[in-house]
Amino acid sequence: MILEYVHQPLGEEVTALAGYYAITKELKLKDDGREVLCMIGICSVESSCCGRRSFQYAIVPGYLVSWKGRENKEGLSVSEVEPIGDEAVKRVIAATIEKTETVLKPNIEFW
């Protein structure tokens, strides 16, 4: 199944219920001759009853099918991705992200 990923402007803060988040980096990781799209971001919880906290996160939409092949009506680039179904591959990719980007495994989300 091919899905579309709409690239968000890097560093642009998005207000959320208890704080904000922003994508800070786009990566193309190598896996067995294919490229994997990965977004690194920061989430900051500022107005929660449980205190304040910031952490990095990663979103892995999947294998790149096309890189920024078109723009949507808002002028944002759109890539096509194929979600990764193999759990062993996900573990390897998560370990790479955890090591190179210092993102903790619970904060890595695969589509």
Is the pLDDT assigned to residue 95 strictly greater than 80? yes
Per residue in 12-36, pLDDT (tens digit) is: 999 887 888 999 999 999 998 999 9
pLDDT for res 49: 67
Cα 93 to Cα 73: distance, rounded to the nearest angstrom: 32
| Residue ranges of domains in the chain | 3-110
Q: Which residues partner with 55 through β-bridges?
A: 43
pLDDT for res 94: 96
Structure token digits, residue 2:
């091919």
Closest of 70, 66, 57, 85 to residue 28, by C-alpha: 66
Q: Which residues partner with 56 through β-bridges?
A: 42
Q: Kindly state the percentage of the chain with pLDDT values over 70.
A: 95
Cα 53 to Cα 73: distance, rounded to the nearest angstrom: 35
